[in-house]
Chain A
């Protein structure tokens, strides 16, 4: 489906960078199906779209890390071929990647010059002292504080690594800068800092592409927005031509039925989980809370305030101190195995690295934690029993697969997520911990997950739900605990649960009307 007719073809000369009719397929899947992208110097251009819409692939083509099957890339009116990242760099195209591209064992200074441009002495050998000095200068210029150029990049906190990554690219003075979800690990303050730098670069005449899941960032920063859908550009225009509603509509290709109904907190229900003084070294400080039967407690806060660590600690994934009580009885959650036995289960953040054995069959994955229940004769697994169990799970979660013998790797992302959920749900835990599992999931699967959560709580399961998207928390939770400074700063209930309150508590640790947490 060709969808670029909205751009007048005669206008081509007015654009500085053009990616025309790009096509790229992986196997039978068309990641890009005739997508076109045009940009000007001195503009910030936001690329939006659902996962798999093609915006990342488009960026990777411009960056040179992916070769298109067909299509033309024009820079300053001339066709260029981007065979590699290095070639793109020589054209003045710089990318801050979503996955960090730092080399953890090399020093910060070495990382700054890995792609070239390292200062050399008379002997043509790298002058390390000069490299360190130059790094300090670059950091000063950009307003980055407190990073020692000599320290190994991998030893820095994640947010600082992201800053080094950004500085590395910007130091090369790119004419075209691509920020591929570069803000996702940054605290809000650093996002604002980055935006300041981006504006400066733009004013100096650079073209900037911004890929972000946060619509708000697009509205804050972008001059122009292109929405991708199904591997093609669906809609493009200047930022003031869009509203949040029209953007979402363009992304989905249909109007969004907003569902804001929220059930009242089951205050009357008995306390199911009680956490007292939970501490994880460097990551969580004195966290205490209660969770009632059938309740969904949201965990909010800026990235890296300890939300993930709380969930991991409750599942015995990290070492921790503190007391955890289930139905009034202290339980042992020092390892995931013991947590499971105690009735606590976690759906991890990253299904590919933490959740699934990708090269094993769907059936094997679904039954892995519950093999004890599949045993037939002696210690042997009963194939029939296992098959029945797996089939039942797959059906109830609506997993679309040819055969349960297929590898999980052969499934689409959404279906993989369902297998992961099915696997954890089959443990029939009393308390479920959801660690940002909706990030990077398409809208359809997300809706399925939310429906499932409602079903579970109706049956009396309690859920701790961490999400980096505050709208989801508002939508789903009975109460929201906002984390700030590695502890729970305040708990929002009922009408207090608004985006404004969550954001304010996230950055300041309190809201005007908040009641302090019971310790």
Chain B
């Protein structure tokens, strides 16, 4: 056992100026992209919530509950999308899986259908569909965008086979169980569960691996991260949570099915993730942001509704909001990169 090494290393020891600069930067409280992306969704949520109270004229605890209730499907789909985006991918097939599961719920889980068999089965179908995406991405080395674009087409075709037009009905038993009054508001329960699952994931090896892959896939490989296995699992989970969202959607919100219900969730889920501050390049983002982003999107629709305007005003405002958010984040990132060019460009 020998003593400590003779010299100390700081990486910048050789020049005092850089060290001084580093100190100066620390003193000036540098703004990181992470901080901006953490604050924006919170501010947005609060502002929209206040606007909603003003528009509706009253405040009650049930207001938040109403918001959550309509947002739960998007939160669930957004959970899967967040995981996928964190790995640096994108999942367009959530639209197809959502439609397929909705169609199955409305045709197989009717009042004379076998709910006990079909409920686990549709969840399994979601899981399997996602796993197929993951397998194709990992095995064929095709881009996630292409694989999920094609599988969206296939899954939504299957949805049309199961249910050719809007309609069908959900078993009253299932609907009343899920939508009946619980002791604790069920939307809050689902949201809380999603948050807990996220917090636990974040502190497991799997969670770190997800972030590692999105941060830099080659480096992750060099650090013996099981890239293929993690990715397949991520897409499978995305499929499962999309299926959960679809079950909730059709049995609590619409009581019927639509073979094209999922298509709006593609844009909505990606938008929720982006407004929530995740980077589409991967490695950065979190579930809380996505939940706030999802709530913000559905609050816009509700504000428009309460204000008595036609629903397409909501679409206009959502478009403006998404564009503003993505441009804001891009600008912040650009400014920070410009302010501190050393780390980014010399590499």
Contact = CB atoms under 8 A, between A and B. Distances in A.
Contacts of A197: 5
A27 interface: no
A193 B9 contact: yes
B12 A308 contact: no
A452 interface: no
Contacts of B212: 103, 106, 114
Contacts of B13: 187, 189-190
A86 B219 contact: no
B259 interface: no
A157 B342 contact: yes
B220 interface: yes
A460 interface: no
A485 B208 contact: no
A158 B17 CA distance: 16
Interface string B1-14: 11011111111111
Contact of B5 (A110, A154, A200): A200
Nearest to A302: B14
Interface residues of A, number: 70
B18 A143 contact: no
Interface string B299-333: 00000000000000000000000000000000000
B273 to A, nearest CB: 16
B264 interface: no
Interface in B269-318: 283-284
Interface stretch (A39-47, A144-152, A259-267): A144-152
A319 B345 CA distance: 12
Contact of B219 (A100, A146, A280, A312): A100
A507 interface: yes
Interface string B193-207: 000000010011100
A445 B205 CA distance: 47
A104 interface: yes
Contacts of B342: 157-158, 282-283
Interface in A65-105: 65, 84-86, 89, 97, 99-105
Interface stretch (A14-22, A159-167, A421-429): A159-167
Contacts of B200: 125
A507 B17 contact: no
A338 to B, nearest CB: 19
A102 B220 CA distance: 8
A485 B16 contact: yes
Given A85-B224, A103-B215, A105-B284, A282 B341 contact: yes
B32 interface: yes
Given A193-B6, A484-B15, 20 more contacts: A65-B222, A89-B224, A100-B219, A100-B347, A102-B219, A118-B208, A125-B204, A143-B5, A144-B8, A145-B9, A157-B22, A157-B343, A159-B11, A163-B9, A190-B13, A193-B7, A280-B341, A281-B339, A282-B341, A309-B346
Interface of A: 65, 84-86, 89, 97, 99-106, 110, 114-116, 118, 125-126, 128, 141-147, 152, 154-163, 186-190, 192-194, 196-197, 200, 203-204, 280-283, 285, 302, 304-305, 308-309, 312, 318-319, 484-486, 507
